[in-house]
Amino acid sequence: MIFDIIIYVFLGIGIFFNLLAGVGLLRFPDVYTRLHAGTKCTTFGSIFIVGSVILIGLKWWWENDANGSVLALHSIFALIAILLTNPVGAHAIARAAHRSGVKPAMAVVDHLDESSQLKPMKRKTKSKKKAEEKEDE
Amino acid sequence: MIDLMTTYLVVVVALALCSIMALIRIILGPTAPDRVVGVDTVNTIVIVAMVAFGMAFKEVIYIDVAIVYAFLSFISTLFIAKYLEGGEF
* Chain B contacts in chain A segment 60-79 (CB below 8 A): 67, 70-71, 74-75, 77-78
Cβ contact, residue pair A93, B33, below 8 Å:
yes
Whether A21 contacts chain B with CB within 8 A: yes
* HSE-CB of B89 using CA atoms within 13 angstroms: 6
- CA A77 to CA A5: how far, in whole Å? 25
Residue B89, pLDDT above cutoff 80: no
The reply to whether A83 and A52 lie within a common domain is: yes
Looking at the complex, report in whole angstroms how far the Cα of residue A69 sits from the nearest Cα belonging to chain B. Answer: 11
pTM score, whole prediction? 0.82
Question: What number is the ipTM of this complex?
Answer: 0.88
The reply to whether A74 and A102 lie within a common domain is: yes
Residue A114, pLDDT above cutoff 80: no
The reply to whether A85 and A28 lie within a common domain is: yes
The reply to whether A63 and A125 lie within a common domain is: no
- CA B65 to CA B61: how far, in whole Å? 6
- CA A131 to CA A114: how far, in whole Å? 18
- CA A36 to CA A71: how far, in whole Å? 31
The reply to whether A101 and A114 lie within a common domain is: no
The reply to whether A51 and A101 lie within a common domain is: yes
Per CB-CB distance under 8 Å, the chain A contacts of B9 are none
- Could you give the angle at the alpha carbon of B73 between the alpha carbons of B40 and A43, nearest 5°? 50
Contacts of B11 (CB under 8 A, 6+ apart): A11, A14, A15, A49, B49, B52
Cβ contact, residue pair B48, A22, below 8 Å:
no
The reply to whether A88 and A125 lie within a common domain is: no
Cβ contact, residue pair A56, B22, below 8 Å:
no
The reply to whether A116 and A101 lie within a common domain is: no
The reply to whether A133 and A101 lie within a common domain is: no
Residue A127, pLDDT above cutoff 90: no
Which one of B24, B25, B37, B71 would you mutate to disrupt binding with A, by most A Cβ within 10 Å of its Cβ?
Answer: B37
* Structural domain harbouring A123: 109-137
Q: Are A133 and A126 in contact (CB under 8 A)?
A: no
Instruction: Choose among B48, B25, B24, B78: nearest CA to A18.
Output: B48
Amino acid at A101: G
Q: Are A56 and A18 in contact (CB under 8 A)?
A: no
DSSP letters for A30-73: SHHHHHIIIIIHHHHHHHHHHHHHHHHHHHHHHTT-HHHHHHHH
- The percent of residues above 90 in pLDDT, for chain A, comes to 52
Residue A111, pLDDT above cutoff 80: no
pLDDT grade for A118, boundaries at 50, 70 and 90: low
Cβ contact, residue pair B47, A82, below 8 Å:
yes
The pLDDT value given to residue A78: 93
Q: How many domains does chain B have?
A: 1
pLDDT grade for B64, boundaries at 50, 70 and 90: very high
* Structural domain harbouring B60: 4-85
Across B1-28, average pLDDT: 88
pLDDT grade for B58, boundaries at 50, 70 and 90: confident
The pLDDT value given to residue A30: 87
Per CB-CB distance under 8 Å, the chain A contacts of B36 are 93, 96
The reply to whether A114 and A86 lie within a common domain is: no
- Indicate the angle between helix axes A2-27 and A41-62, nearest 10 degrees: 160
The reply to whether A18 and A80 lie within a common domain is: yes
